[in-house]
């Protein structure tokens, strides 16, 4: 439990911003398969998005933006999500790369001929092994309490960067598309 003389929120914001900036700088310097992720998504007939917990929430944001771009996107687990098939893509995130449901979904996707784009901290994980395009985020995994890669709690840095990588993927695809904001706007939710 934190001490009663807790640090101000501004201190936390500065620490979080510094950690995120450090990870993003490393991703810019060594982007890995980020360009391949773009290809996997644009070449897919349909895109399926899957993550558990906060990683799943982060990827739902990406799913929405990809839909705004005009991709046929489904969030795994929703009642209207169809079966994945050859020609589709699975975009997934798991800090550990070992989350059983995520790994099983990636194996199922691969077995039917879909391609997998995975975001993880663990390049040697089962999820990484299944991926056609792999983005390794240099952040602490959920169970890393060493405060070496991040002083934040339980994989928060990974999840924050997943949001930003998702936005960067969307933005890069949008720039490639030649569409402007007015072209995307009609797909924005109007039942809010």
Among 96, 93, 92, 154, smallest CA distance to 122 is for: 96
In the numeric block, the tokens 């839909």 are attached to 67
Report how far Cα 92 is from the mean position of its chain's Cα atoms.
6
Is the Cα dihedral 72, 107, 165, 176 positive or negative? negative
Q: Is 159 a catalytic residue?
A: yes
Task: List C-alpha distances in Å: 150 to 42, 48, 160.
Answer: 33, 30, 12
In the numeric block, the tokens 């209207």 are attached to 80
CA dist 130 and 53 (Å) reads 21
Catalytic residue selected from 43, 78, 107, 159 = 159
Could you give phi then psi for residue 73, rounded to 5 degrees? -120, 140
Residue by residue, DSSP assigns 114-171 as -EEEEEES-TTSHHHHH-SEEEE--S--TT--SSSS-SSSTTHHHHHHHHHHHHHHHH
CA dist 135 and 44 (Å) reads 18
The catalytic residue positions are: 159
């Amino acid at each position: 439990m934190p001490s009663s003389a807790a640090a101000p929120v501004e201190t936390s914001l500065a620490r979080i911003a510094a950690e995120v900036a450090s990870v993003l700088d490393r991703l810019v310097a060594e982007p890995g398969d980020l360009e391949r992720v773009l290809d996997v998504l644009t070449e897919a007939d349909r895109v399926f998005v899957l993550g558990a917990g906060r990683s799943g929430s982060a990827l739902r944001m990406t799913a929405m933006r990809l839909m705004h771009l005009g991709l046929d996107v489904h969030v795994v687990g929703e009642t209207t999500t169809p079966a994945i098939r050859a020609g589709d893509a699975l975009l997934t995130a798991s800090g550990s790369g070992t989350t059983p449901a995520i790994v099983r979904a990636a194996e199922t996707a691969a077995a039917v001929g879909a391609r997998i784009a995975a975001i993880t901290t663990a390049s040697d994980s089962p999820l990484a092994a299944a991926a056609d395009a792999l983005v390794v985020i240099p952040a602490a995994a959920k169970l890393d309490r060493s405060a070496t890669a991040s002083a934040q709690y339980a994989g928060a840095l990974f999840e924050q960067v997943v949001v930003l990588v998702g936005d960067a993927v969307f933005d890069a695809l949008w720039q490639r598309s030649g569409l402007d904001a007015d072209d995307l706007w009609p797909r924005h939710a109007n039942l809010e």
